[in-house]
Chain A
């Protein structure tokens, strides 16, 4: 439940020293406290979120808590957020979000936050994970968020803008549900968009864990099917193995295209079409502002996504593969390792 006006005025009295006058057109009566629960440190999205408020000239006190990939710390965060009576909670990633607010069906006022507004971000599939009802409305009175997923169709079109392809290879990890779901979606698209999809899943060991060394072999299998690109849609495993994956692909003369920005930016994939995390963070900030300043109820706010995605091209890979981007995409692409950037 949203706190009553009385509590807000109490906070005003409690907070000594007025905030600096806002240069913004929107009036801020007091400073806010936002509790940020992140999974692996305050990375780009987290920074984006904070920068948003700075740019808007809003005075916000951020309490950042890093779970450091440990789910067991989450209940502690819930307790702390309640004790500190923060104005808003921001959750980063599927695990943190599930841990702190639960799903649509199993949300428990004791274990989860149900009375403080919550904005989630960097959740790959909030509907699939059961966190929200739909992107139009979360269906939960105190929950809204942002989506960072680039729709699969957009990704395919973006890849086609680089080169028209008839054969696409996809490499994935059967161990991860999101990976399998992603492949399903691409398979369906293949029919409508008239391309042939060739799938290659990583080999599993006796424990059901993926074997990294099988990557080159899988790549070769796809090359034998004459694919133009090998696509990596959703797999934390492959993301961790990105350098090995992309280098192996280059050695064999085939480009990797990915939904992970870092694969192109920091590793050696040719092309990545992704939501920039920093922008997603800012977008979450925008949602938060609507709740705090405009006093809108989270259930009334649809889950927002970006209108422009990052199109990252790794020129070094392009040069190595002699697969240069067409002129058209250069207008909006972000070039990494371009000539002048050497």
Chain B
């Protein structure tokens, strides 16, 4: 079956995409970590050389006169396989010493000199195409550069390692992919059983219909031979006959679809909406059925993606460790060698080995310098510990060490747990014989700690991939599976009742399509047939015409454009286009204020914070202003068209944003995107509210909100990761590109006839009048200023504006900022739905909303004094939690408070006015917040806002407690 293959294919593509993405991230990270380890090792090698040379310079030797140099660099090269060459050159770049004799006297490459001169410290590391370059300065003792050195480390080994790792990982990824693809396919096949049964039953009914056709019981034929009187009688008889046949057909279909009873049909949830037409009667049942069949498939897909990613993560981690371990070993060896050198020098200078001084302290300082070292030990030839790092000593105890340190002086064992280390042991050879061992213990978890950031990124990508997969799969299923089934059912219902005015356009090859086409064909034939007869009759008899017109009305035949196509738009049509669009739009959330701050140039009129908040302010304003207009436009021109048109300002806006050089330009382009956003979101909303859309309005709006929030969450997190890796401007470009995709999806999936027939209010300026109206409601005002506006302020001023700026100042990357903001949306998605269903009474709602708002304020106040990253995360988390509790109930509560106004002007006006006022309030709040940040700083601004919100919620609770409605019946909410 088509649908089956389509879903398996889709699953495979998604799996490939996710695993491919994870593979690329892992490979990239491996290279980065390996490069860092090598650069780190080289940076530990350079000091050996330059300290030796500089020491000789201090003695008064000129750079060209230090005879030891050649020995030193050859020794370093010998002990660091992979070093291609080491050059020491003077201030003019002339090579004085080199591991490659032929380079003596030659000039060192200009880029090496440049790298040296521009380095801020004593040395620097650089990765080039073919090798790693480490350069260091040679400074005399009054800090003048007298020359420099360069170490070139071949990338051959590095490249080999990288290729090996990639191959290994690729192999494992392929195995995971194939395994899970097969498992998923089997699962989908199994899950399709139910659907297949259903489709088979349709096939059966199709066959039955064909049979009845063969037996001459079809409906495609109306016999109207004869003259008027006779004809009318005939016609009546024909009509009865006709009805009989219809009844037969109905029975056939009924018996065919009675196979449905054997399937698990869930109870519909009984919610009823006045928007439903008769046609919808069985809709509820059918979509329940469809989504019931589809749900296991979707879970299989999500589960597959999730599990495969987990296994991938585990495997890649093991591979990481395995492939990076040799590098760690090289580092350990280097450290041991350096210690060996120092010990040897001490002995050469005349200090007996067993009387070495300050070795513990020395080992301590090395262990501190290299993060991966947990422990260092010097042992005597029998393995007994002579000196070790990790001793906690007070300076006074050092007094004792001025006396001879005998071998029997024991110290306490080191603090770090030794079982977590890999130990490397190297012999010390002094004067040719074995004087002992150096033991270097490296932290096992060191590699893991290098990977931390990528693990978080992977987790974020995983969550988002799963959510995106869910959206896509749901949308595809509803579009390709339940959509056609719905339409077929509608058509069947119509025809069973004798309405032949509609047909279905379909190309599906499965039984659903076949039956649909058959029925459509029947309808068309019947209509054509009827028209012919009517024409014939018209010429002959007027009375017959009247009768036949009566037949026509009864059976829906020969309307002006009969049969017309059955339109069945559904909420799922907008899923993919809206999701893609909102996702692209929200990529900027985690870093917009940061980007704007970069563009900021001092301005005499407005202070910095206010200027930075301008893009958000402008965005809110334009969306608020454009929304009512977009509503008008989509009613006039159709939602689909407005959707597509809205892409133009959005795409152009984001392109402009990526190229903006000043704040003014940026604000301009951002305004364009705001216009696009308003147009598209309102178009989608109206699409869902239209007459021709399946489903109850509440469910559809919930779907809409769900899509937007999920897309916001995903976009915010992914935007943060993208910005961290490719930069702000490129992320804007990607947003523009994704929106074009959204355009394609919208073009394909949106039905052009939806969005019409929505209640058009007579009052054009219903907005303003509505606002004035609800302003009169005192309780509403309290609600507005104490709950609704603070909630929006917390979102716009705190979450969108303060959090990115503050976190950035604390040192977080945009990826981390994105993850933090994501938590907020994740909580709303996860918890919001569950909570809003539970609370039903007015008092309950007031309590919920009030305490939720209080909680959000407390969340800010509790942590504002800690000046660190986790304090902000905790605040955002509590904010998310609180808002999850109150966002949906706020709407219900506001409608209830404004019951009278709803009665007068309808839902839309009230909600529209609420939104306008909220937006207005949040704009003011944002500006005030910006000023506060400038004057008091992030922490205090957070604290003040938190306190303000707490105060407002307490006022709200108090007010409603005092004025609470004594009659419990009136406060019940659900119809």
Contact = CB atoms under 8 A, between A and B. Distances in A.
Binding between chains A and B? yes
Among B58, B359, B365, chain A packs the most CB atoms within 10 A around the CB of B58
Contact of A308 (B141, B351, B402): B141
B349 A327 contact: no
Given A286-B142, A307-B143, A322-B404, A164 B357 contact: no
13 contacts: A51-B60, A164-B399, A276-B59, A278-B60, A279-B141, A308-B54, A308-B141, A327-B346, A328-B358, A328-B362, A338-B349, A338-B350, A340-B348
Contact of B62 (A55, A322, A328): A55
A283 interface: yes
A331 B398 contact: no
Given A308-B54, A332-B51, A48 B60 contact: yes
A328 B58 contact: no
A164 B400 CA distance: 10
A74 to B, nearest CB: 28
Contact of A339 (B60, B348, B359): B348
A328 B360 CA distance: 10
Interface in B39-61: 51, 54-55, 58-60
A324 B357 contact: yes
A7 to B, nearest CB: 30
A330 B350 contact: no
B347 to A, nearest CB: 8
Interface string A285-323: 010000000000000000011111110000100110011
A324 B356 contact: yes
Interface in B352-383: 355-359, 361-362, 365
A85 interface: no
Interface in A245-279: 276, 278-279
B335 to A, nearest CB: 14
Contacts of A330: 342, 345-346, 349
Among A164, A335, A339, chain B packs the most CB atoms within 10 A around the CB of A164
Nearest to B345: A330
A279 B358 contact: no
A133 interface: no
Interface string B323-361: 000000000000000000011011011110001111101
Interface string B87-103: 00001100000000000
A319 B357 CA distance: 13
Contact of A326 (B139, B361, B399): B361
A220 interface: no
B362 A327 contact: yes
Contacts of B395: 164
Among A326, A327, A332, chain B packs the most CB atoms within 10 A around the CB of A327
A334 interface: yes
A166 interface: yes
A31 B357 CA distance: 53
B346 A306 contact: no
A282 B355 CA distance: 39
Contact of A334 (B59, B143, B398): B59
A51 B349 CA distance: 30
A161 to B, nearest CB: 9
A230 to B, nearest CB: 15
Contacts of A310: 58
Interface of A: 25, 48, 51, 55, 163-164, 166, 228, 276, 278-279, 282-283, 286, 304-310, 315, 318-319, 322-328, 330-332, 334-335, 338-340
B396 interface: yes
Contacts of B356: 324, 327
Contact of A331 (B342, B351, B404): B342
A276 B396 contact: no
Contact of A327 (B58, B60, B359): B359
Interface residues of B, number: 37
Contacts of B2: none
Interface of B: 51, 54-55, 58-60, 62, 91-92, 139-144, 342-343, 345-346, 348-351, 355-359, 361-362, 365, 395-396, 398-399, 402, 404
A43 B140 CA distance: 21
A332 B398 CA distance: 21
The 3 closest A-B pairs by CB, nearest first: A326-B358, A339-B350, A308-B141
Given A48-B60, A276-B60, A332-B55, 4 more contacts: A164-B395, A306-B142, A307-B143, A326-B359
Among B142, B346, B398, chain A packs the most CB atoms within 10 A around the CB of B142
B211 to A, nearest CB: 100
Nearest to B65: A55
Nearest to A315: B350
A25 B342 CA distance: 39
B358 A304 contact: no
A324 B399 contact: no
Contacts of B143: 307
B884 to A, nearest CB: 57
Nearest to B47: A331
A315 B349 CA distance: 8
A163 B361 CA distance: 12
Among B92, B350, B404, chain A packs the most CB atoms within 10 A around the CB of B350
A319 B350 contact: yes
B927 to A, nearest CB: 48
A211 to B, nearest CB: 32
A216 B396 CA distance: 28
Nearest to B52: A331
Contacts of B365: 328
Contact of B58 (A279, A315, A323, A324): A279
Given A286-B144, A306-B142, A328-B358, A279 B398 contact: no
A327 B141 contact: no
A326 B362 CA distance: 8
A322 to B, nearest CB: 7
A278 B57 CA distance: 11
Contacts of A25: 91-92
Contacts of B142: 279, 282-283, 286, 304-307
Contacts of B345: 330
Nearest to A310: B58
B396 A166 contact: yes
B658 to A, nearest CB: 45
B203 to A, nearest CB: 88
A317 B51 CA distance: 26
A278 to B, nearest CB: 5
A278 B58 CA distance: 9
A317 to B, nearest CB: 11
Contact of B141 (A307, A324, A335, A339): A307
A318 B356 CA distance: 12
Among B139, B343, B402, chain A packs the most CB atoms within 10 A around the CB of B402
A279 B55 CA distance: 12
Nearest to A334: B59
A124 B359 CA distance: 37
A326 B91 CA distance: 35
B58 A163 contact: no
A269 B62 CA distance: 28
Contacts of A308: 54, 58, 141
Among A309, A310, A331, chain B packs the most CB atoms within 10 A around the CB of A331
A163 B401 CA distance: 9
Contact of A335 (B349, B398, B399): B349
Nearest to B143: A307
A308 B140 CA distance: 8
B891 to A, nearest CB: 67
A307 B139 CA distance: 10
A332 B62 CA distance: 18
Nearest to A194: B395
A311 to B, nearest CB: 10
Contact of A163 (B51, B348, B398): B398
A25 to B, nearest CB: 7
A101 to B, nearest CB: 23
Contacts of A279: 58, 60, 140-142
B358 A327 contact: yes
Contact of B348 (A278, A283, A306, A338): A338
